[in-house]
Amino acid sequence: MHPADIAKSIHDSPDIAEKRRLFEDIASSSTKAHVLSELSSEHVVQVLRGIPLTELSALIKELPRDDATDILRVLPQEAVPAILRGIAHEEAAQLECLLTYPKRSAGGVMTTQYVAIHQDATVDTAFKAIQKSSIEEMIYEIYVTNDQGNLMGVVALRALLRASRKARITEIMDREPIFVTTETNQEEVADKVARYNLLSIPVVHPTGKLMGIITIDDVVDVIQEETTEDMLRMSGISTTEQDDPQFYVSGLQEAKRRLPWIFVNMLGSILAGYILWFFRYTIQEVVAIISFIPIITALGGNAGLQSSTLVIRSLAIGRIDRRDLWTLCVRESWVALLMGSICGGVILLITLAWHAHVMLGVVVGFSMTLTFLIAVVMATALPILLKYNGLDPAIAAAPLITTATDIASITIYLMTATVLLSSLS
Amino acid sequence: MHPADIAKSIHDSPDIAEKRRLFEDIASSSTKAHVLSELSSEHVVQVLRGIPLTELSALIKELPRDDATDILRVLPQEAVPAILRGIAHEEAAQLECLLTYPKRSAGGVMTTQYVAIHQDATVDTAFKAIQKSSIEEMIYEIYVTNDQGNLMGVVALRALLRASRKARITEIMDREPIFVTTETNQEEVADKVARYNLLSIPVVHPTGKLMGIITIDDVVDVIQEETTEDMLRMSGISTTEQDDPQFYVSGLQEAKRRLPWIFVNMLGSILAGYILWFFRYTIQEVVAIISFIPIITALGGNAGLQSSTLVIRSLAIGRIDRRDLWTLCVRESWVALLMGSICGGVILLITLAWHAHVMLGVVVGFSMTLTFLIAVVMATALPILLKYNGLDPAIAAAPLITTATDIASITIYLMTATVLLSSLS
């Protein structure tokens, strides 16, 4: 059974005792280690609880350094020094160094296991370096450095295979490799790797020294993580960093995670409710007004959510940036006017058929069009403004947009109704 | 400038004339071809319009076969035979064969450019095969086949480098490689590659014959495409297959794309409006009822959206499946009861403070709790049921969930109000 499949069965088991039994039943400690690296952090903690420190050290030793660091990050921090003491000194020092980088930076994702050779070397030396290396991670590129250890170039394994054994490495290397620094955010790393179709990307210290590499299989995990986080934020499930939709945490923990946005929503909708209450005399006078409240608020919210999703996703995959704000607002306003006037027209006809009240139809139709326009412009501008103030645009989605459009649509509708109906009745 | 960056400037240019000028200004036809493979399909059509067929043939020739197929798929279909006539017969035949697979199947994504050797070969033969091959795509694995061309195993380039030149390839190959068939959906291909951390995955005919491979850089594109599609569907922007959030299409086209869900939403909310109208006498009697309509509908919709997003994303990354339906509904009901009773309690207090009406407070608090429960159970079950009836769970999100919860919450609230208030006033 592949470690990923064992990890899946552990994920799927209903209770912790069963999860731990499954994990302890794994015969080889190398498989055990690889299963660990496939588990979500919550599960790592659960299956490792109570396992002797010496055994933990043995498991950590089996893993590629980037995966080892991920495991060490989620274990109780007071246990880490003891676990590292059970590992060869040099290896422990490497892990300790990797642990100093923030989790979601390039330094926090990279591994220091790669093959680097000096720029004076030949292709033959490079071959020998690969054959000698004990790295279990995939090698598909080797890195060329100078006396200071600065990154000078990259050679694809394929280019190495095709070159003459006597050629100098500088003759076949790519002299302008794409790289990131240890501080680069993991989302930006993923963007670069995806955009330039890279297999791995070197990570350098701001001084130019080669510090590690990030391989594409880890970038795939980063993309999944960041997308999950965006989607959970967009629907108001969480405002903190979340790698994983969690179904195994208790209902109470989950309710705690979701309630903050529900409360924001409650505050906003109390305001919307207050506005309805404020206009109660208008409503009592023309009671048919109430039959359009759900229509105006639902459609406004939906139109806003369409725009914000489009903008948030386009920002995430690098399709638009701040400079596009004006163009986008113009385009979206045009879309809103089109949709708003079509929906407004339909609603006007429905009002005539339902309540036989021409002026009410005009009020509803006009409010609908204006609501679309305001909802869409807010939903387009807000994510972009958030992003360029260093906030995550995803938090601008469902909870904020729908609350804001509820308030706007009810105000527009009832103000229009009060003005037009009273001036004409 | 990297082809991906040129493609980005073409994306960013405001008008078609400018896009075409940028594309035509590219000096080398190899760069031109690679820029093409980075452009979205809409842009490919725009920049290629009016370019002579012979030049198109030359560009197609420069590309890896999977990228060439993608371009040929989006060009006017009557031009394809003429373009293929400008390409060497054998190559044209390969492309024609790739074009027969559906776009989103493994066959439609794969390339037929890979290195395969016979199972009787030695490591030395494998090296020579790699050195001789003219493939520009990345090679990191070679494939081992038998007399019938069936896939027998896979050898990582790294294993090849470390083996003795005289060793037989069967000694170092992985005899149980993970593979997909030509018919496998691209989403499932991406799941497999991500789950097992593969660099490439072989694609076989149902009979076992090796037909092609899919490399991880293309899988990254598939993941981005499928996620974008999910997010656009979740907010009701589109029900068809969309690779790309589109800001460069006209406002009219975009309004057409978004209107269908707005209309579904309109139908549902007219029903909600009708229910309000039906209970108009209750409302006229206790006008304070209207002040809680936005609160009940907004919170119910939001709670439902939280659950549906969690379920849709968990389904997409393979964290849950149909067997989890019952467990999930129980867990989510528990979360809903917790959140509902907390919010219901808060609303009860607000009602007392605002309208000094105990029974109204009880009605609002009770309706809130029940609305949460129903919204969350619907939002959990619907995506799973859709998925196991062959539909995309993403379409169950915002438009459907919020409309359904609007109807449910208004009905619960006003029925409760009518029963409790009339029996007690």
In order, the DSSP letters of A22-56 are: HHHT---HHHHHHHHHHS-HHHHHHHHTT--HHHH
Listed by number, the residues of chain B in 42-101 with a beta carbon closer than 8 Å to a beta carbon of chain A are none
Spatial separation of the C-alpha atoms in residues B99 and A199, rounded to whole Å:
27
Interface test mutation site (partner A, options B124, B284, B335, B371, max chain A beta carbons within 10 A) = B335
Say yes or no: B140 contacts chain A, CB-CB below 8 A. yes
Residue A23 distance to chain B (closest CA, Å): 18
The mean-pLDDT minimum among A69-83, A382-396, B151-165 falls in A382-396
Q: What's the pLDDT at A424?
A: 54
CB contact under 8 A, B195 and A219: no
Cβ neighbours of A130 in B, within 8 Å: 158, 161-162
Say yes or no: B300 contacts chain A, CB-CB below 8 A. no
Cα-flanking dihedrals φ and ψ of residue A141, to 5°?
Answer: -145, 150
Q: Which of B199, B228, B291 sits opposite A317 (nearest CB)?
A: B228
Interface test mutation site (partner A, options B162, B293, B346, B384, max chain A beta carbons within 10 A) = B293
Q: Taking 90 as the threshold, does the pLDDT of residue B308 lie above it? A: no
Q: What's the pLDDT at A245?
A: 65
Q: CA B115 from chain center: how many Å?
A: 31
Cα-flanking dihedrals φ and ψ of residue A212, to 5°?
Answer: 180, -175
Say yes or no: B415 contacts chain A, CB-CB below 8 A. no
pLDDT band at B152 (very low <50, low <70, confident <90, very high): very high
Beta-carbon count within 10 A of B169 CB:
23
- Give the CA count within 13 Å in the CB-facing half-sphere of A286: 27
Q: Which helix (H) or strand (E) holds A374?
A: helix A358-387
pLDDT digits (tens, 9 = 90+) for A398-411: 778 888 888 999 99
Helical ranges in B51-168 per DSSP H: 53-62, 65-74, 80-85, 89-99, 106-109, 123-132, 157-162
Q: CA B70 from chain center: how many Å?
A: 18
The sign of the dihedral angle between the CA atoms of B110, B115, B118, B122 is negative
The residues pairing with B143 across neighbouring beta strands, listed in sequence order, are: B116, B154
Rounded to an integer, the average pLDDT of A382-391 is 84
Instruction: Provide the percentage of residues in chain B whose pLDDT is more than 70.
Output: 95
Say yes or no: A247 contacts chain B, CB-CB below 8 A. yes
Rounded to an integer, the average pLDDT of B353-366 is 86
Interface test mutation site (partner B, options A123, A175, A215, A258, max chain B beta carbons within 10 A) = A258
Q: Taking 80 as the threshold, does the pLDDT of residue B238 lie above it? A: no
Listed by number, the residues of chain A in 329-358 with a beta carbon closer than 8 Å to a beta carbon of chain B are 331, 334-335, 338-339, 342-343, 346-347, 350
Confirm if A270 and A278 have CB atoms less than 8 A apart: no
pLDDT digits (tens, 9 = 90+) for B69-83: 888 888 888 888 888
Say yes or no: B13 contacts chain A, CB-CB below 8 A. no
Angle among Cα A210, A213, A217 to the nearest 5 degrees reads 170
pLDDT band at A84 (very low <50, low <70, confident <90, very high): confident
Spatial separation of the C-alpha atoms in residues A297 and A309, rounded to whole Å:
18
Q: What is the mean pLDDT of chain B?
A: 85
Cβ neighbours of B236 in A, within 8 Å: 302, 305-306
B260 Cβ partners below 8 Å, 6+ apart? Answer: B239
Q: Taking 60 as the threshold, does the pLDDT of residue A425 lie above it? A: no
Q: What's the pLDDT at A156?
A: 86
Spatial separation of the C-alpha atoms in residues A379 and A372, rounded to whole Å:
10
Rounded to an integer, the average pLDDT of B132-141 is 71
pLDDT digits (tens, 9 = 90+) for A242-270: 556 666 667 787 778 788 888 888 888 88
The more confident residue out of A395 and B79 is B79
The mean-pLDDT minimum among A129-143, A331-345, B262-276, B380-394 falls in A129-143
Cβ neighbours of B223 in A, within 8 Å: 220, 223-224
Q: Taking 80 as the threshold, does the pLDDT of residue A14 lie above it? A: no
CB contact under 8 A, B2 and A231: no
Closest CA to B74 of B49, B105, B111, B54: B49
The ipTM value here is 0.79
Q: What's the pLDDT at B423?
A: 63
Say yes or no: B236 contacts chain A, CB-CB below 8 A. yes
Q: What's the pLDDT at A140?
A: 78
Q: What's the pLDDT at A239?
A: 62
Q: What's the pLDDT at A67?
A: 87
Closest CA to B225 of A383, A198, A317: A317
Q: What's the pLDDT at A374?
A: 92
pLDDT band at A317 (very low <50, low <70, confident <90, very high): confident
Task: Give B54-60 contacts, CB < 8 A, sequence gap 24+.
Answer: B54/B86, B56/B83, B56/B86, B57/B83, B57/B84, B57/B85, B57/B86, B57/B87, B58/B29, B58/B86, B59/B29, B59/B32, B59/B33, B60/B33, B60/B87, B60/B95
Spatial separation of the C-alpha atoms in residues A288 and A352, rounded to whole Å:
11
Rounded to an integer, the average pLDDT of A301-310 is 86
Domains of chain A by start residue, with CATH? 3-100 (1.25.60.10), 116-223 (3.10.580.10), 251-424 (1.10.357.20)
Instruction: Provide the percentage of residues in chain A whose pLDDT is more than 70.
Output: 95
Chain B residue whose CA is closest to A335: B251
Listed by number, the residues of chain A in 366-395 with a beta carbon closer than 8 Å to a beta carbon of chain B are none
Q: Pull the structure tokens for residue B162.
A: 């470390």
Q: Taking 90 as the threshold, does the pLDDT of residue A153 lie above it? A: yes
Rounded to an integer, the average pLDDT of A382-395 is 82
Say yes or no: B238 contacts chain A, CB-CB below 8 A. no
Spatial separation of the C-alpha atoms in residues A189 and B298, rounded to whole Å:
38
Cβ neighbours of A376 in B, within 8 Å: none
The more confident residue out of B410 and B395 is B410
Rounded to an integer, the average pLDDT of B186-210 is 89
Closest CA to B373 of B408, B416, B420: B408
Q: What's the pLDDT at A396?
A: 65
Q: Taking 70 as the threshold, does the pLDDT of residue B243 lie above it? A: no
Residue B96 distance to chain A (closest CA, Å): 25
pLDDT digits (tens, 9 = 90+) for B30-68: 888 888 888 887 788 888 887 888 888 888 888 888 888
Tell me if residue B235 falls in helix, strand or coil: coil
pLDDT digits (tens, 9 = 90+) for A182-223: 999 888 898 888 888 888 899 999 999 999 999 888 888 888
Q: Which of A293, A303, A402 sits opposite B276 (nearest CB)?
A: A293
pLDDT band at B425 (very low <50, low <70, confident <90, very high): low
Terminal-residue alpha carbon distance, chain A = 78
The more confident residue out of B247 and A340 is A340
The counts of H helices and E strands in chain B are: 20, 6
Q: What is the mean pLDDT of chain A?
A: 85
